[in-house]
Structures are given as structure tokens and as C-alpha cells.
């Protein structure tokens, strides 16, 4: 109770974020401070942002397995007036594409629209890459490479917006002579493609909030088969993080709600080339 009172006092003196990305970062940063029930709400909220945006307090509380009053306590602990105030932030991330495009008109009038959009995405990409460098964890990289180094086959799992990354990894690893299976789900056969995985294999799996349910299910499938798992995701609350032997947190910056993939692609290709280098070094030592 004393910890909750201290958090409430801190929340009253801070202005809570009004955009989802900043809210997510704040929750992750304060994770260790949150009481157990509030971490339960935080985990559900960040794993299911669409449900939180449009669900009722009763339905969300039931799914998070807490009382509706806990949603209010969670909101107030973060500095919001109540749950509906917090819910507005979750709704803000779901602006329709037409609304996002309309927001672009609020930016610079002295340059062409195309140039302004290019500058916006370039700035977002540079912020993403800078954050990737700042978060680089050498120990985690070594752990990931160790999981992949001895694999007979590497399964690449990333659907929806993550598919360009896994498909490019398949291209890169193939050129470097490393056997892969790209899970593409053609003809609805994703589960069958992943069904060949075994304890001598590994998987690289990629997904970001709102997490693709099929990616999570396929990751669980190869994990249950005994394959090692390396995940690229965006939060300690990600379901992929719990399934992984090693995982990387990547937070892509956005421009008016449109996220880039530059940091994710950079990390994926660094893993690809570093893995090939490590395997060649092992052969030289042998």
C-alpha cells in the first residue's frame, strides 16, 4: 500500500503521455515499481491494445483477470484521471489512414508535400537506428548467435508487417549457404511448414504490437518441437519474449502513425551476417 501511495503521489505531479508510444515506454520503464495486480493489467494492455481501445471496462477486466476497479487504479497510477482517459490514448494509435494523411497537412507549408513526407520518414528512421545502437546488448547478441549457430535448419517466422524482414533474411541466409525455411503461409500451410521443426533446429521469429496471433502460435509450435527460438519484438510484455531463448527489443519510431522497419531490418541483417561469420570461424577452427 505504501508503494501504491508513493506511485499515486508521483503520478499527480507528472503529466501523463497522450500518445501510445510514449505511454508504452513509460509503462515498461516503471514495470518494476508496479504492484502485482497492476503489472497484470499492464501486460494485458500492451499485449492487446486493440481490445483496450474499444472494449468495456468490464470486458477488459474479465480478460485481464482483475476487478474493474483495478483498471482505474492502474490508470491513476500512471497519472490519468480514470480508465476512460487512459483508453483515449490506446484509441489514438488506431487513427484510420485517412485521418493520418489529414494530419500531414499540419506540417510544413514551404516545401512540397512529397519532400515533407520523405523528411518525416527519414527522421523517424534515424531515431529508430539511434535507439537500436543505444540498446545494443553484446551478451544477448552472443546468446542469439549461439542458439542459431548449430541449427540444421533455421525457420523464419514473421507475418504481416514483419514478413519483409523474414523474407530478406531468407534471401541473405540462402546466399550465405545457411539452410532456412521461410514460413510464408501460402495456401494456409504455415502450420505444416513449421511442423518439420525439431530439436536440432532454431527459429527467428518477429512480431510487434498488436502481435500477429499466427506468429505467436507458430512460435509456440516450433518451441514445443524443441527448436531454439530467437525473437525480435518490441516489449518485455510480448508473448514472443516469453517463448524465446534470446530476444531483442526494437522500438521503431513512426511518422504520423506510419512505422518504418529500418531498425528491425538492420538488426536482422546484422544477425544474418554475424551468424555466417561465426559459422565460418568455427569451420576454420575445426
Q: pLDDT tens across 87-97, in order?
A: 888 887 665 54
Residues of the chain predicted below pLDDT 70: 1-14, 93-111, 283-286
pLDDT of residue 123: 86
CATH number for the segment(s) 2-92: 1.10.10.10
Which set of grid coordinates corresponds to residue 144?
A: 542469439
Best CA proximity match to 270, nearest among 179, 142, 158, 150: 142
pLDDT of residue 104: 57
pLDDT of residue 252: 87
pLDDT of residue 107: 53
CA atoms within 13 A on the CB side of 147: 24
Q: pLDDT tens across 269-278, in order?
A: 999 999 999 9
227 three-state secondary structure:
coil
Distances (CA, A) of 184 to 26, 192, 217, 232, 248: 34, 11, 14, 17, 22
List helix spans (H) across the chain: 2-12, 20-29, 36-47, 49-54, 57-64, 68-77, 83-92, 97-104, 113-134, 138-149, 163-175, 190-194, 213-224, 239-243, 262-285
- One CATH from 3.90.400.10, 3.40.50.10490, 2.60.120.1360, 3.30.390.50 for 137-285: 3.40.50.10490
Average pLDDT, the chain: 86
pTM attached to this predicted model: 0.71
Going from N- to C-terminal start, the domains of the chain cover 2-92, 137-285
pLDDT of residue 97: 47
Amino acid at each position: 500500500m505504501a508503494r501504491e501511495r508513493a506511485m499515486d503521489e508521483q503520478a499527480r505531479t507528472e503529466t501523463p503521455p497522450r500518445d501510445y508510444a510514449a505511454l508504452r515506454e513509460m509503462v515498461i520503464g516503471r514495470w518494476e515499481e508496479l504492484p502485482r495486480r497492476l503489472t497484470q493489467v499492464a501486460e494485458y494492455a500492451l499485449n492487446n491494445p486493440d481490445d483496450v481501445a474499444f472494449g468495456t471496462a468490464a470486458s477488459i477486466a474479465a480478460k485481464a483477470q482483475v476487478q474493474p476497479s483495478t483498471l482505474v487504479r492502474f490508470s491513476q497510477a500512471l497519472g490519468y484521471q480514470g480508465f476512460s482517459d487512459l483508453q483515449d490514448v490506446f484509441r489514438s494509435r488506431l487513427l484510420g489512414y485517412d485521418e493520418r494523411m489529414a494530419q500531414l497537412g499540419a506540417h510544413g507549408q514551404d516545401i512540397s508535400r512529397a519532400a515533407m513526407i520523405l523528411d518525416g520518414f527519414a527522421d523517424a528512421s534515424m531515431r529508430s537506428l539511434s535507439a537500436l545502437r543505444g540498446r545494443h546488448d553484446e551478451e544477448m547478441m552472443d546468446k542469439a548467435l549461439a542458439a542459431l549457430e548449430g541449427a540444421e535448419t533455421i525457420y523464419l517466422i514473421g507475418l504481416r508487417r514483419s514478413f519483409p524482414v523474414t523474407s530478406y533474411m531468407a534471401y541473405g541466409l540462402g546466399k550465405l549457404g545457411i539452410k532456412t525455411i521461410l514460413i510464408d503461409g501460402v495456401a494456409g500451410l504455415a502450420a505444416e511448414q513449421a511442423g518439420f521443426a525439431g530439436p536440432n533446429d532454431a527459429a527467428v521469429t518477429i512480431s510487434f504490437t498488436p502481435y500477429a496471433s499466427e506468429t505467436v502460435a507458430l512460435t509456440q509450435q516450433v518451441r514445443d518441437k524443441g527448436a531454439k527460438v530467437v525473437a525480435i519484438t518490441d516489449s518485455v510484455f510480448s508473448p514472443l519474449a516469453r517463448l524465446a531463448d534470446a530476444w531483442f527489443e526494437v522500438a521503431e519510431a513512426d511518422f504520423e502513425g506510419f512505422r518504418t522497419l529500418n531498425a528491425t531490418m538492420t538488426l536482422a541483417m546484422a544477425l544474418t551476417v554475424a551468424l555466417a561469420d561465426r559459422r565460418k570461424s568455427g569451420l576454420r577452427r575445426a
